Amino acid sequence: MTAESPHDDAPRESDADPAAFAVATQLLEGMGGAALLFTRDGRLCAANREARTRFVIDDRAPLRSQRDTVVLSTVAPLAGGLLARVREGQVPVVDTCQVESTGQWLELRLVPCEGDLLLVSATDVTVRETQRVSLERAQRETDSLLGILPLSVRMGDLAGRIIHMNARAQAEHDEPRPATLRELWERDQPRRTEGDVRLAFLETAGMRALAGRSTQGELTVVRRGPDATVRVIEVDAAPMLDESGRVTGLILVDRDVTDRRPVAPAGVPAVVPSLVPAVVTPMASAPAAERESALTARMAADEQRIAQLVEERARALTAHDESTARDRRLAAIGRLAAGVIHDVNNVLNPIMAAAFLLRHHAESPDAVRDYADRIRMAAETGAATASRVGRFIRQEPTPPGTDEVLDLSVVAEEVLVLTEPPTPPQATDSAAVRVVRDYGAQVLMRGIPGEIREMLLNLVSNARDAMPKGGTIRVTTKVVGEDAQIIVRDDGVGMTEEVRERAIEPFFTTKGAKGTGLGLAEAYGIARRHRGTLTIDSAPGDGTAVTLRFPVERGAVTPTATGAVPASGAPVHILVVEDHDDGREFLCRIVRAAGHTADAVATCAEARERLSAPTGSSYDLMLTDVGLPDGSGWGLVTYARERLPKLRIGVLTGWEPRDSGQTSAGAEFVLRKPLRAAELLSHIGGRTAPDLLG
């Protein structure tokens, strides 16, 4: 497929949500292997870098014009079958195929996501498949060897489950055969040969092996066979270890030596082992001793071979467990991608509506300010979503030092404004949702505005969804003791006890395809990151009340509006380094509107030229992006610091700031995009802490 011949019926790239799919692409980059996102009708939405090299993707053509049948043509036979199974309702599906052109083995996974999306991933499993063939051969050899040995062999995992036994071990017990070491202990009723004392479960050779201790030649009296016949067995046990020396399981080998070590019934003294040879004639004892010595040597060699095969088997089981865990992680990432797209679309909706109305009411200053505030608040909520995605990919916590004093009453009102249409809803009385505000004064806490706003947005959206026939949402804020509280209550369908207990589990939802299962889970996570708690009170038919409690901020000045622009202070001459054209232009407009002067460049080379010129010392501050086309902004920071030691430097990045001890060296402050004008201008004026990374 080429850019000149897209499908006639394909929607234009602009018909999609570019911001949503940009976030999805960023998320796919954090996955191992090639990953793509399709619509259910087969149109490509997003793809990471590896997918573009492995599959047939035309970078010159719009993604939405490219079909799965062409994109996945390199793995066509398998992909076609998997797609058919998905369309038949089988979810998720996974299978493995070999690429003829390269000989590589690929594992394809198809995971349906919310919003009629389908996540497709391909992982190179050539090494695993090669190992699988070798392990299967080793397993057959192991089974054959264990089948002919005059020994009972059992293998167990770390939980004490018996995962394999040879035929001789199976024949020692009737159905159902012991499935765990405890069941084996209960059936065998093991006793010591000396003193006829019952052997405790934790003292058995198998449990000692799980504790890391080996056993050799230990004599034990057991009851085995259909008639629970008393037998004497000689037990060897050893732990199975992984490459790092950790115990992953055990191998338990025993042999019946009753003929050599006879035992009397319970209550009758056992035959003393040292007296047994006395009943054997000297003529027969020598050949018997030689045969026993040869048998012992052969057993030792066999046991060494068994140990090697068992180790290979243990590694195979570990690889299988890792593959299963990877399947679960992939499914979770697919659901997260769908949830992120869902959240970003929710953010884009009020932005697009407010932008339209902003243009429509351009002559009204009050309307312009109102819609501008709505756009800003929605953008901050979207930024919080992107921030969480970045932390999820890198498994990083929320960076400290980025919070501020918030009034929960003010934030709640901002959220309710965002969730209400700009014009009165055209709903019938029976389906109308009434909102009751019960705000307390000075309900102050410390928090990240975008995250707190998004948390409340999720709760209000859930409350609306719980009342399909209409009802009342009551939002209450108050200070109780040392807690700043906010309660979102609805009189909707409510929850059962089982649903309430699972409500904060990620991806658990009762809304079917309409829900992502992320709303309450995200709200709970945000509350925990802010040292708060979330509790749910609900019953079927009685509605739901979600209560959030945060440490109250005492003695704080009432926070100003989050969009307020601080006084500009003394004019500052600024060098702006930003490769994105719109970002560079708007950044210059913001600082110039505050009374500062700005020169703008797009590359590291241009910035170095400006700084090395005779006029370079006239700059008071440099604002630089990190991802520049010809190098890293951090390298430019080092250059500027060496060239102009007195130059103030601020770094702007689209990623979550990392360890301040490494990455912020030489920078006075680091801000994450999208920028808040008030925060940026405060830093330019030198009125905030120099480092927000903490």
pLDDT beyond 90 at 606: yes
- CATH for 130-273, among 3.40.50.1100, 3.90.1150.10, 3.40.50.1820, 3.30.450.20? 3.30.450.20
The pLDDT confidence band at residue 100, using thresholds 50, 70 and 90, is confident
Angle between helices 18-29 and 365-394 in degrees, nearest 10: 20
Nearest in space to 626 (alpha carbons), one of 590, 600, 656, 599: 656
Q: Which of the 8 DSSP states describes residue 554?
A: T
> What does the alpha-carbon distance between residue 136 and residue 312 come to, in Å, rounded to a whole number?
10
Backbone angles phi, psi at 99, to 5 degrees: -80, 120
Give the pLDDT of residue 689. 39
Give the pLDDT of residue 15. 43
Nearest in space to 495 (alpha carbons), one of 539, 464, 463, 465: 539
The pLDDT confidence band at residue 574, using thresholds 50, 70 and 90, is very high
Mean pLDDT of the chain: 75
Q: Does domain 573-684 have CATH number 3.10.20.90?
A: no
Amino acid at 117: L
The pLDDT confidence band at residue 633, using thresholds 50, 70 and 90, is confident
> What does the alpha-carbon distance between residue 325 and residue 323 come to, in Å, rounded to a whole number?
5
Query: Which residue blocks in 211-281 are alpha helix, DSSP H?
Result: none
Region 292-298: mean pLDDT is 69
For 160-205, the pLDDT digits (tens) are 899 888 888 888 888 888 999 999 998 889 998 877 788 888 889 9
For 319-330, the pLDDT digits (tens) are 665 555 555 555
Nearest in space to 490 (alpha carbons), one of 444, 529, 435, 417: 435
3-class secondary-structure state, position 30 = coil
- Selected residue with higher pLDDT from 115 and 71: 71
pLDDT beyond 60 at 564: no
What are the tokens at 123?
A: 């992982």
| Polymer length of the chain | 694
> What does the alpha-carbon distance between residue 390 and residue 384 come to, in Å, rounded to a whole number?
10
pTM over 0.85: no
Q: Which DSSP string do the residues of 645-690 spell out, in sequence order?
A: TT-EEEEEESSPP--HHHH-TT-SEEEESSPPHHHHHHHHTT-S-S
> What does the alpha-carbon distance between residue 94 and residue 327 come to, in Å, rounded to a whole number?
9
Neighbours of 419 (CB within 10 A): 18
Give the pLDDT of residue 315. 63
Please determine whether the domains at 130-273 and 403-551 fall in the same fold group of CATH: no
- Selected residue with higher pLDDT from 267 and 280: 267
Region 628-634: mean pLDDT is 86
CA angle (344, 121, 71) in 5-degree steps: 95
> What does the alpha-carbon distance between residue 613 and residue 622 come to, in Å, rounded to a whole number?
15
pLDDT beyond 80 at 522: no
Q: Which CATH class is domain 403-551?
A: alpha beta
Give the pLDDT of residue 594. 82
For 443-497, the pLDDT digits (tens) are 898 888 878 888 888 888 888 888 888 889 999 999 998 899 999 999 888 888 8
Please name every residue paired with 475 in a beta bridge, in sequence order, or none if there are none.
437, 488
The CATH number that domain 13-126 falls under is: 3.30.450.20
Cβ-contact 51, 122 below 8 angstroms? yes
All residues at 6 or more sequence positions from 402 whose CB lies less than 8 Å from its CB, including other chains: 448, 692, 694
Give the pLDDT of residue 346. 60
Question: Which DSSP helix (H) or strand (E) runs through 146?
Answer: helix 126-148
Amino acid at 29: E
> What does the alpha-carbon distance between residue 445 and residue 406 come to, in Å, rounded to a whole number?
5
Give the pLDDT of residue 573. 92
pLDDT beyond 90 at 340: no
> What does the alpha-carbon distance between residue 605 and residue 434 come to, in Å, rounded to a whole number?
58
Give the pLDDT of residue 168. 85
Q: How many CA atoms lie within 13 A of 157 on its CB side?
A: 12
Give the pLDDT of residue 401. 54
For 212-256, the pLDDT digits (tens) are 888 888 889 998 877 888 888 999 999 988 878 888 889 999 988
Question: Which DSSP helix (H) or strand (E) runs through 255?
Answer: strand 247-256
All residues at 6 or more sequence positions from 561 whose CB lies less than 8 Å from its CB, including other chains: 373, 410
The pLDDT confidence band at residue 261, using thresholds 50, 70 and 90, is low
Domain boundaries, the chain: 13-126, 130-273, 403-551, 573-684
Nearest in space to 652 (alpha carbons), one of 598, 580, 557: 580
